């Protein structure tokens, strides 16, 4: 029992987090920056932070994650990192030739109080930023928020730096996806294309962190939103932000800056939230829902009705990022499952916690929800009263193993399985995949636990 020190008895804790259900802000900012074509993320802090952020992303995506660092040593830690950042900007543009450098801060540079716009202005005045190239930034102090906050901050920075009014209105809809998989971003774009909707997605890590192996190293992969597209977002017909925590701030900033009306929706996970996404896209773009989308929806409804009996009443424990949990919980409730324990490590606020509670109130009136909480408490709840299924990232596997409960991996990070980068859980097709994964886990357990007498060929 690797987690044998987890006690069943729960004691009130205020200042201590054990086994946190989140990672740090710069990881989200770095991930978002990779969703801009030709962009090199830059970590303004020490090399240790930067190595951790890159390795966490690399372990999850199994792709080399390119980034740079200000490489703080003792001097920068005491006197500030201006000299390091100006030198870094000069080196990066000369050696790696990106279109954009996206700077995010770390705990150390935030504690020092480095003023990034002032430093970038100095670099510009010193002639370190070539014409037509850009340095953008966001602040990501990791003692507040989580990787989701960092993603949100960098997505908003894209609006702050690039979106502009050009006197025209285009038909394009801006799609802001929150901290989700490259495969999810690709699926959102695919649905928009099938609907006949012109769209600009930002950030867009599809074909960046799930790209092909070609035998040739490419510092800047094919994918990612371009700077020209980012500028055009200010002329869009509307914006759909998917996930309040990951995408809401960027959508509202675009509305405030360029008067592009926005809708902030749940992530399109499961039947109902995909319905809402499709309907919002239809209304905003003034198109009809094509038969191809109706077919996908019908297939999902058919699969749900075929397998509902194996899902009905199953107790599920969910741990992960807030936007994912809200949509997942809604899907589970629609399947007549019971999301009884829900924990996110991200401080998502009271309004979010209330929305989550409301979502599960009928299906699981006694559900235990902690926002923000940790996986130690999550484990304690499971010890007190077990569940049939856990849905969470790779760290949840220790709990699943100790308590002998099936685990469906979902969220960030997943470091011990493949598939998340390539197979989306968004839209009707993604919901089918989620359904398949949950059924695999539950029915494999049923087969394993069956006696010779009740072991069935046909389920
Ligand atoms: S929490 Fe702060 S110090 Fe730790 S890796 Fe993240 S940015 Fe660096």
Condensed to tens digits (0 to 9), the pLDDT of residues 300-350 reads 999 999 999 999 999 999 999 999 999 999 999 999 999 999 999 999 999
- The rounded percent of the chain whose pLDDT value lies above 70 is 100
Q: Which residues pair with 126 in a beta bridge?
A: none
Please state the pTM of the whole predicted model.
0.97
Pocket around ligand 1 at a 6 A CB cut-off = 24, 26, 49, 52, 106-107, 142
Instruction: Tell me whether residue 194 is exposed, middle or buried, using C-beta atoms within 10 angstroms of its C-beta: 0 to 12, 13 to 18, 19 or more.
Output: middle
Q: Determine the pLDDT at residue 134.
A: 98
For residue 341, give Cα distances in angstroms to 276, 317, 320, 374, 453.
26, 5, 11, 12, 34
Cα(369)–Cα(150) distance, rounded to whole angstroms?
23
What atom of ligand 1 comes closest to residue 106's alpha carbon?
A: 7
Q: Determine the pLDDT at residue 424.
A: 98
Give me ligand 1 centre to Cα 437, in Å: 34
Residue bearing the CA closest to ligand 1, atom 8: 49
Give me ligand 1 centre to Cα 86, in Å: 22
Average pLDDT over residues 212-222: 94
What atom of ligand 1 comes closest to residue 52's alpha carbon?
A: 5
Look at residues 408, 373, 397, 421 and name the one whose alpha carbon lies nearest to residue 22: 373
What atom of ligand 1 comes closest to residue 108's alpha carbon?
A: 3
Helices (H), 38-181: 47-61, 74-79, 82-95, 107-112, 116-125, 147-162
129-138 confidence digits (pLDDT tens): 999 999 999 9
Give me ligand 1 centre to Cα 116, in Å: 18
Q: Is the pLDDT of residue 248 over 90?
A: yes
Is the separation of the CB atoms in 387 and 341 below 8 Å? Answer: yes
Q: Determine the pLDDT at residue 167.
A: 87
Cα(395)–Cα(410) distance, rounded to whole angstroms?
11
Give me ligand 1 centre to Cα 164, in Å: 33
Cα(49)–Cα(55) distance, rounded to whole angstroms?
10
Instruction: Tell me whether residue 78 is exposed, middle or buried, using C-beta atoms within 10 angstroms of its C-beta: 0 to 12, 13 to 18, 19 or more.
Output: exposed
Look at residues 5, 121, 96 and name the one whose alpha carbon lies nearest to residue 379: 5
Residue bearing the CA closest to ligand 1, atom 3: 107
Q: Is the pLDDT of residue 14 over 90?
A: no
366-386 confidence digits (pLDDT tens): 999 999 999 999 999 999 999
Residue bearing the CA closest to ligand 1, atom 5: 49
Coil, helix or strand for 238?
Answer: strand
Cα(47)–Cα(68) distance, rounded to whole angstroms?
9
- Average pLDDT over the chain reads 97
43-77 confidence digits (pLDDT tens): 999 999 999 999 999 999 999 999 999 999 999 99
252 cis-preceded (ω within 30 degrees of 0): no
Coil, helix or strand for 326?
Answer: helix
């Amino acid at each position: 029992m690797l987690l044998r020190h987890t006690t069943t008895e729960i004691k009130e804790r205020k200042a201590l987090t054990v086994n946190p259900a989140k990672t740090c802000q710069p990881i989200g900012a770095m991930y978002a920056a990779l969703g801009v074509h030709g962009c090199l993320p830059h970590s303004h802090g020490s090399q240790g932070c930067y190595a951790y952020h890159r390795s966490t992303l690399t372990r999850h995506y199994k792709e080399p994650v390119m980034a740079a660092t200000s490489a703080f040593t003792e001097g920068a830690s005491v006197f500030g990192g201006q000299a390091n950042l100006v030198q870094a900007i000069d080196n990066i543009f000369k050696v790696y030739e990106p279109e954009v450098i996206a700077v995010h801060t770390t705990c150390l540079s935030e504690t020092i109080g480095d003023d990034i716009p002032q430093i970038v202005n100095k670099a510009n005045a010193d002639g370190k930023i070539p014409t037509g190239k850009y340095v953008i930034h966001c602040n990501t102090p990791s003692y507040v928020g989580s990787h989701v906050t960092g993603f949100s901050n960098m997505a908003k920075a894209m609006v702050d730096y690039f979106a502009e009014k050009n006197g025209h209105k285009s038909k394009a809809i801006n799609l802001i996806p929150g901290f989700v998989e490259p495969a999810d971003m690709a699926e959102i774009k695919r649905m928009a294309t099938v609907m006949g909707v012109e769209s600009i997605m930002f950030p867009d890590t599809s074909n960046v962190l799930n790209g092909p192996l070609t035998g040739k190293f490419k510092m800047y992969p094919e994918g990612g939103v371009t700077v020209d597209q980012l500028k055009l977002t200010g002329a869009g017909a509307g914006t759909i932000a998917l996930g309040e925590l990951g995408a809401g701030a960027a959508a509202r900033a675009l509305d405030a800056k360029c008067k592009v009306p926005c809708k902030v929706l749940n992530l399109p996970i499961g039947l109902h939230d995909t319905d809402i996404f499709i309907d919002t896209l239809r209304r905003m773009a003034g198109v009809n829902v094509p038969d191809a989308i109706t077919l996908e929806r019908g297939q999902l409804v058919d699969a749900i009705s075929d397998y509902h009996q194996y899902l009905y009443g199953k107790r599920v424990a969910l741990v992960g990022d807030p936007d994912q949990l809200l949509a997942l919980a809604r899907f589970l409730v629609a399947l007549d499952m019971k999301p009884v324990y829900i924990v996110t490590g991200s401080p998502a606020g009271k309004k979010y916690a209330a929305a989550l509670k409301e979502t599960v109130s009928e299906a699981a009136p006694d559900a235990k929800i902690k926002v923000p909480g940790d996986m130690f408490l999550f484990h304690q709840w499971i010890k007190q009263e077990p569940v049939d299924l856990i849905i969470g990232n790779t760290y949840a596997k220790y709990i699943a193993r100790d308590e002998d409960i099936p685990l469906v991996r979902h969220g960030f990070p997943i470091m011990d399985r493949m598939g998340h980068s390539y197979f989306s859980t968004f839209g009707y097709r993604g919901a089918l995949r989620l359904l398949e994964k949950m059924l695999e886990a539950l029915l494999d357990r049923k087969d394993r636990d069956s006696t010779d007498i009740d072991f069935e060929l046909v389920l």
